[in-house]
Homo-oligomer: A and B are copies of this chain.
Amino acid sequence: MPPVHELDLILDQVRALLAQGQVEEAADLISALRPTEAADVVAALHPADGADVLEELDPADRAEVVEELEPGIGADVLIELDEDERTDVANRLDAEALSEFLDEMAPDDAADVLGELDETKAEAALAEMDQEDEVRELLEHEEDSAGGLMIPHVVAFRQSMTVQQTIEFLRRHKPDEETSYYLFVTDDADRLIGVVSLRQLVVAAPHVQLGAIMKPDVITADVGTDQEECARLLARYDLLALPIVDDDRKLVGVVTADDLFDVVEEEATEDIYHLANLDADEDVYDNVFRSSRRRLTWLFVNLPTALFAAWVVSRFTNTIAALAVLPSFALIVNGQGGNAGIQTLTLIVRSLALGEITLRDSWRTLTREFIIGGLNGMIFGVCVGVIGLVWQGSMMLGLVVGAALLLNLINAAIVGTLVPLGLRLCKVDPALASGVIVTTFTDVMGSVCLYGIATILLSYGFLGGW
């Protein structure tokens, strides 16, 4: 075993490498150590950094190092690991060792970790845990609801307590860091009637009662509230924690800002990925074959719509054979229709996600997008029509292209608005209205307009003339 000052040297090197983002190189240094020494180094890092390094180790080595960590530090590191690596480590630990780590976590975090394990393993670990009951209660709620995120059984205070009594109570009981930025005040029936921030407590005179400094009208949520809604409330009212109450306004738990910070990023990523037809948990470090299979699934899901669009175009082979330049313009009509449709779709999906519009605003939103689509269709249609006229020397062709563009931009506006609003109406995530649905519509409608108008004009002899 290297003497202590040698370990210090390694720790310094690891820190320096991490500061430059060279996580793999840091992991190489650590994997050369014995598990107990490696654990000493990891324990000296911030848990988020320690987790980064552990993620780069071999799965078996990683579990051995984690096993050597003190429960309190191991718990912090486990929370910071990516889900796949955390599940792997948890499965390699025996139930007793795992339960020691879980007991050191906040109950909401422990519930999250257990929710990722298979049932037998989770049961075995739960049975060994001290905070078994609290965690079981949380596991009953939806993972992405306030009930699944909250820390249950928060200490509440009576309004008759003085500031000094409260401070002394806190000194004796030392509540967790996360749950103590707000003190919740309840009445005799345990109903939430006010909130005192820790800052208010500290700056108030010692003899004042909590009832005199508390803020009434507390913003609350219930266990069923969606995590996105919780994040919105927190951001809107600039809160650090959101108390969760039951139907009688009894305090059942608290959701804290640090959990919701992650939610905002998670939900944004989910929306972004869904719009692009990616699975929400796709990851640049995923196994190549898993990623390949997932994306292939999406390509096959879209195949019927693509085939339908192809079939529609195949109805016009005579027109195309007669006017072989039409597919060139189809690329512009379909492509720009698709772009406009995705602009509208993205705006609606994000505005729904941020709560800027609701279903009540449907009609106004549709009208607005329709006007924009019509306006831009006219202007853009005329321009591209003129380009068609000049390029191919045919007024009629210019007319066909311009008209098809106008119709397709209006179509794009309608589809881009109605698809996400319709999904919201059916209580489906509007972000699942991926661009693909919209571009299929604009491909089909653009082709039908362009080739259809051309077919009609050809049949009257208007288009054969050049």
Contact residues of A with B, CB < 8 Å?
A: 21, 46, 48, 167, 170-171, 174-175, 177, 180-181, 197-199, 201-205, 217, 219, 234-238, 240, 257-258, 261-262, 264-265, 268-269, 271-273, 275-278, 282-285, 288-289, 291-292, 295-296, 298-300, 302-303, 306-307, 309-311, 313-314, 317-318, 320-321, 324-332, 334-336, 338-340, 342-343, 345-348, 350-351, 354, 356-358, 360-361, 365, 368, 371-372, 375-376, 379-380, 383-384, 387, 435-436, 439-440, 443, 447
Identify A261's interface contact among B174, B235, B443, CB under 8 A: B235
Given contacts A273-B346, A327-B327, contact A357 B284 (CB under 8 A): yes
Question: A334 CB to closest chain B CB, in angstroms?
Answer: 8
Contacts A264-B261, A283-B356, A335-B306: A328 and B313 contacting too (C-beta < 8 A)?
A: yes
In the complex with contacts A202-B171, A339-B436, A376-B299, A356-B284 CB distance below 8 A: yes
Q: What CA separation (Å) do A310 and B261 show in the bound complex?
A: 46
Verify B340–A295 contact, CB threshold 8 A. Answer: yes
Cα–Cα, bound, A256→B342 (Å):
35
Q: Are B306's CB and A336's CB within 8 A?
A: yes
| Contact B268–A272 (Cβ < 8 Å) | yes
Complex: A318 Cα to B328 Cα, angstroms: 13
Interface of A is mostly: helix
A302, B336: Cβ atoms under 8 Å?
yes
Chain B residue nearest in CB terms to A444: B331
Q: Report which of B203, B298, B302 forms a contact with A170, defined as CB distance below 8 A.
A: B203
Residues in B whose Cβ lies below 8 Å from that of A258: 235, 238
Complex formed: what's the CA distance from A99 to B44 in Å? 49
Q: Contacts A261-B257, A311-B328 given; indicate if A295 touches B376 (C-beta within 8 A).
A: yes
Task: Report the separation of the CA atoms of residues A314 and B288 in the bound assembly, to the nearest whole angstrom.
Answer: 38
Q: What residues of chain B lie closer than 8 Å to A276, measured between beta carbons? A: 275, 342-343, 345-347, 435
Q: How far is the CA of A330 from the CA of B330 in the complex (A)?
A: 11
Give every chain B residue within 8 A of A238 (Cβ-Cβ).
258
- 7 pairs of A and B residues whose beta carbons are closest in the complex: A268-B268, A276-B346, A317-B324, A321-B324, A327-B327, A310-B328, A320-B324
> A203 contacts which chain B residues (CB < 8 A)?
170-171, 174-175
Alpha-carbon distance between A234 and B258 when the two chains are bound, in angstroms:
9
Whether the Cβ atoms of B292 and A372 lie closer than 8 Å is: yes
> Chain B residue with minimal CB distance to A257?
B257
Interface centre among A295, A306, A356, A371 (most CB of B within 10 A): A295
Bound CA span A295–B369, Å: 11
Name the distance in Å between A133's Cβ and chain B's nearest Cβ. Answer: 25
Given B278, B313, B320, which contacts A346 in the complex, CB threshold below 8 Å?
A: B278
* A435–B439 alpha-carbon span in the complex (Å): 12
Q: Specify the chain B residue showing the minimal Cβ separation from A306.
A: B332
From known contacts A311-B328, A358-B21, infer whether A296 and B439 are also in contact, taking CB-CB under 8 Å: no
Cβ distance A255 to chain B, nearest Cβ, rounded Å: 14
Contact partners of A384 in chain B: CB under 8 A: 303
Min Cβ gap A288→B in Å is 5
CA distance A299 to B436 in the complex (A): 19
On whether the beta carbons of B320 and A335 are closer than 8 Å, the reply is: no
Q: How far is the CA of A136 from the CA of B166 in the complex (A)?
A: 41
Cα of A357 to Cα of B265 in the assembled complex, Å: 16
Residues of B within 8 A of A268 (CB): 264-265, 268-269, 271-272
